[in-house]
Structures are given as structure tokens and as C-alpha cells.
Amino acid sequence: MVYLQLTRGAAPRSHVYPERWEPTVVLTFKAAPVISAEKREKGIAVVTRLDFRWSKCHIKSIALLPSVMAKNEALTAGFDDVVFVGPEGDVREASASNIFMIRRGMLLTPPRNETILPGITRKWILSCAKKIELPCEQKRILLDDLYGADEAFISSTTIDLLPVVRVDDHKIGSGVPGPISVRLYGQMIRDLQTMSRESP
């Protein structure tokens, strides 16, 4: 896993940008985390919480404290992750991943706006959906929509695609990873195999 972090640069503590400064670049790399076979086969449970983060979530920043607090609260309550919901009931994203649902053969995910970080893996999944001829739409999803989903999953660079089988006390679909999610993940694996063969 390669992580690149850029900042405007180092400067004395102040709320005013200096006229001139040099950006800082930090690059780290380590072994990618491994998602257990059990989690991939059985899926995960998420709890919803009112979104109390700042209003510019489309900006990838290091201000992760609200997400860290929410995920730890979820783990303490026996869930695997948290899904943030807006004050009007709109589903946004998980602590460090995007969320998708499937209803009547249609892949749905919240639209790109200030309330979510449009992840690279999110874009990849939408591409995979086209490859397997799965209709998809980016639209506002309400919490009741998510509760009534046939399938659901979260996505990020470090987890690829991970099925969600329970949201709060609501079972999603039959309570196991659904066939469309499995097909999408299979397409992701095929993409990775193709990239591996084509890389020098």
C-alpha cells in the first residue's frame, strides 16, 4: 500500500497563508492489509450515525478525528464500521470508504458532492459495473432505501469491495453477500489479473 501525502508546506503557527512556502511531500509504503476470507464470505455489519464531520468531505485531508471516533464507537458496539447519515436521512459514506447498494438489479451510490470523498475504488467499481452490464446510478439514497436494499457493500483502496449484510438492526437481503456483489468483486479480480499481466 502506497500512501502519498501533500501539504501546502511548513510555516509558523498562524491562520494566514505565507506569501511563499515550499510544499511538503511524504510518501510511505507498507504491506496492504489483508481482509479475512471469513469477512469476504459472510459480510460485515455497519451502524449508522448522524454525520458530524465538517462540510467539505470531498476534500481528502488529514482531519480524520470524527471518522476515527465514529468507527471506534461502532467497533465498541459490536459492528464492523459506521455509515454517516445526513440530517435529512441521506446516506453518505462509511468511516473510510464509499457505500453502494443494489435494488432490483440496479447499482446505486450517493452522488459526488461535498458530503463524500469520491474514492478511486468507487470509480473503478462503476467501471466494473459497465463491464458486467450492471445498470448503475449515482443518486441520493435515504436510510430507508438502504434498509430495503437487496445487497449492499462498501469500497476503498484497502478493502476493494466488502459486502454489508446488516445495517443497524436491519438484515440486508438474505443476510449473506449477494450474487451481484460477488460478480462485481470477480470483475475487480479479473481487472487486477489483467493489469498484472500487462505490467512490465
- Active site positions, annotated: 60
Check if the beta carbon of residue 6 is closer than 8 Å to that of residue 25. yes
Contact 25, 4 (CB under 8 A): yes
The 3-class secondary structure across 4-64, one letter per residue, is EEEECCCCCCCCCCCCCCCCEEEEEECCCCCCCHHHHHHCEEEEEEECCCCCCCCCCCCCC
The C-alpha torsion from 187 through 190 and 191 to 196, rounded to 10°, is 160
- Measured between alpha carbons, how far is 47 from 18 in angstroms, rounded to an integer? 42
> What number of other Cβ atoms are within 10 A of residue 80's Cβ?
18
Chain position carrying cell 455497519: 46
CA 35 to centroid of chain Cα atoms: 15
Half-sphere exposure of 114 (CA within 13 A, CB side): 4
Q: How many Å apart are CA 135 and CA 118, to the nearest integer?
A: 19
